[in-house]
Amino acid sequence: MPIPEVDKIWMDGELVDWKDAKIHLLTHSLHYGSGVFEGIRAYETPRGAAVFRLTDHMKRLFRSAAIYRKPIPFTLEELVEATKVVIRANGLKSCYIRPIAFRGYGEMGLHPMAAPVNVAIAVWPWGAYLGEEGIKHGVRAKVSSFRRNESNSIPTAAKATGQYLNSILAKMEVVEAGYDEAILLNLHGHVADGAGENVFVVRNGVLFTPPTSAGALEGITRDSVMRIAEDMDIPCRERDLVRTDLYIADEAFFTGTAAEVVPIREIDDRVIGDPGPITRRIQEKFFEIVRGGDKAYEHWLEYVD
């Protein structure tokens, strides 16, 4: 799908026109995938645009950078403010936000310390990543034959551009086979996560999700859902899951910034069914919170104005 263009992109401290947001061909990260990035969303609320857990996302960007020994030449506060600036500059009420910190032009070797670190924040309107239909009625998932990258090869705790080659292989495989989204197992055969989402299953009223040690990204939506479940007195456990735990689940869903909360209706052609009651309750609460409808979670919203 083509990216809907807006006016401005924030690059290294300045707002530049969308069409001028360019980089050199010999940018280190283009060749070696050495960038780190975030995916964040701003939602329309009665008090104007609010970014969901902006500071938490930016903190993860700094953690990803630290893993790759990449000094970000801005403070956390500066990047939080820059995000609001670029949303305001484009007059957006809701949008997807893509901060990226990447090794730039100046070094083509694999010891990239000499390359400068560039930082950019792009925003654009982005609808439901797995489709409106998916949010309402659920998606069809398939376990990919590609395994999640092992964290001692490419750390799964970081959100680095290069590691998405793994997700791209899985996603292409299952979409070309007629499914909506891929689920990846780790090298031990335990469920890690989706191509770009965390995975939850419900069994006998209890919510289960793989631990980060299984290769799941420490998702901000995952954390939000775990806290929502706790507040609803729905027990939630981080536990290793094998693929048959997916097949026999009473309910299953994906969480992620781009995807949001998406029921899974089928896994490997085993029918899970229509979105179940726990999935529905959590999904409804999530959308209520991000749109400013629940005062108890107000601290997760960072207003643009």
Residues 6+ apart with CB under 8 A from 18: 5, 6, 7, 8, 9
Residues 6+ apart with CB under 8 A from 87: 42, 49, 51, 95, 97, 123, 304
Cα→Cα distances 286→195, 220, 222, 248, 290, Å: 21, 12, 11, 25, 6
Identify whether the C-beta of residue 116 lies closer than 8 Å to the C-beta of residue 105: yes
| Binding residue (CB under 6 A) for ligand PY5 from 115, 217, 229, 301 | 217
Q: Residue 145: which of 121, 165, 174 has the closest Cα?
A: 174
| Binding residue (CB under 6 A) for ligand PY5 from 104, 219, 263, 275 | 219
Residue 182 engages ligand PY5 in binding (rule: CB under 6 A): no
| Binding residue (CB under 6 A) for ligand PY5 from 80, 117, 220, 252 | 220
For ligand PY5, the closer of residues 219 and 275 by Cβ is 219
Question: Segment contacting ligand PY5 (CB under 6 A): 71-79, 136-144, 206-214, 220-228?
Answer: 220-228
Interactions with ligand PY5, residue window 100-129 (CB under 6 A): none
Residue 257 engages ligand PY5 in binding (rule: CB under 6 A): yes
DSSP assignment, residue 270? E
Residue 256 engages ligand PY5 in binding (rule: CB under 6 A): yes
For ligand PY5, the closer of residues 104 and 219 by Cβ is 219
Question: Segment contacting ligand PY5 (CB under 6 A): 64-72, 119-127, 190-198, 285-293?
Answer: 190-198
Provide the mask over 47-76, with x wherever binding to ligand PY5 is found by CB under 6 A and - wherever it is not.
------------------------------
Start-to-end Cα distance in the chain: 30
Tokens of 175: 């979409």
Residue 197 engages ligand PY5 in binding (rule: CB under 6 A): yes
Q: Please give the torsion angle defined by the CA atoms of residues 147, 148, 153 and 155, in that order, rounded to the nearest 10 degrees.
A: 180
Catalytic residues: 159
Q: Calculate ∠ Cα 37-40-43, nearest 5°.
A: 165
Question: Segment contacting ligand PY5 (CB under 6 A): 100-108, 205-213, 256-264, 293-301?
Answer: 256-264
| Binding residue (CB under 6 A) for ligand PY5 from 140, 222, 265, 285 | 222
3 state SS of 83 = helix
Give the binding-site size for ligand PY5 (rule: CB under 6 A): 15
Name the closest residue to ligand PY5 (Cβ). 39
Closest contact distance (angstroms) between CB of 98 and ligand PY5 is: 8
Residue 154 engages ligand PY5 in binding (rule: CB under 6 A): no
Identify whether the C-beta of residue 39 lies closer than 8 Å to the C-beta of residue 98: yes
Residue 198 engages ligand PY5 in binding (rule: CB under 6 A): yes
Task: Go through 110-141 and write b for each residue having 16 or more CB atoms within 10 A of its CB, e for each that does not.
Answer: eebeebbbbbbbbbbebeebbeeebbeebbbb
Q: Kindly list the residues in this chain that would bind ligand PY5 in the complex (CB under 6 A).
A: 39, 167, 193, 196-198, 217, 219-222, 255-258
